[in-house]
Amino acid sequence: VHLREIIAARPVVGAGVLVTLTRRCPLHCAHCSTGSTMGDAHVDAAALRRFFGTFSADSRPDIAMLTGGEPLLRPRLVVELAGVARAAGTRTAVLTGGFFARRATIPGPVLRVAAAVDHFSISVDAFHEREVPRADVFRVLARLLDRGVAVSLHVVGTGADDPYLAEVTAGVRRAFGARVPMLVSEVRAAGRAAAWAAQATTTDAAAPCAMAAWPVVAFDGAVTACCNQEVVDGRARPDHLRLGDAGQDGWAAVRERALASPVLRMIRTLGPPGGGCAGCRRWGEDPVALERARETGSGPVGALLDWESTRRQVAAGPVAFLRRYGCPPYADLVEAGHRPGAP
Ligand code: SF4
For residue range 136-175, list pLDDT tens digits in order.
999 999 999 999 999 999 999 988 999 999 999 999 999 9
Distance CA 154, CA 136 (A): 15
Ligand 1 pocket at CB < 6 A: 200, 202, 209, 211-212, 226, 228, 231, 267, 272, 276-277, 280-281
Residues in the chain: 343
Distance CA 240, CA 224 (A): 9
This prediction has a pTM of 0.92
Nearest-atom index, ligand 1, CA of 280: 2
Distance CA 238, CA 257 (A): 15
Q: What pLDDT shows up at residue 188?
A: 64
Cβ 92 vs Cβ 119: under 8 Å: yes
Rounded to the nearest whole angstrom, what is the distance from the C-alpha of residue 101 to the centroid of ligand 1?
Answer: 34
CA angle centred on 61, ends 48 and 40, rounded to 5°: 30
Rounded to the nearest whole angstrom, what is the distance from the C-alpha of residue 185 to the centroid of ligand 1?
Answer: 17
CB atoms near residue 323 (< 10 Å)? 15
- The alpha carbon of residue 296 and the mean position of all alpha carbons in its chain are separated, in whole angstroms, by 29
Percent of the chain with pLDDT over 70: 92
Rounded to the nearest whole angstrom, what is the distance from the C-alpha of residue 275 to the centroid of ligand 1?
Answer: 10
User: Kind of pairing, strands 151-157 and 182-186?
Assistant: parallel
pLDDT one-digit tens code per residue, 58-102: 999 999 999 988 999 999 999 999 999 999 999 999 999 999 999
pLDDT one-digit tens code per residue, 278-319: 889 888 888 888 898 898 899 899 999 999 999 999 999 999
Mutate to test the pocket of ligand 1, among 223, 226, 261 (most ligand atoms within 8 A of CB): 226
- The alpha carbon of residue 123 and the mean position of all alpha carbons in its chain are separated, in whole angstroms, by 13
* 89 CB-near residues (< 8 Å, 6+ apart): 55, 57, 60, 62
Rounded to the nearest whole angstrom, what is the distance from the C-alpha of residue 231 to the centroid of ligand 1?
Answer: 8
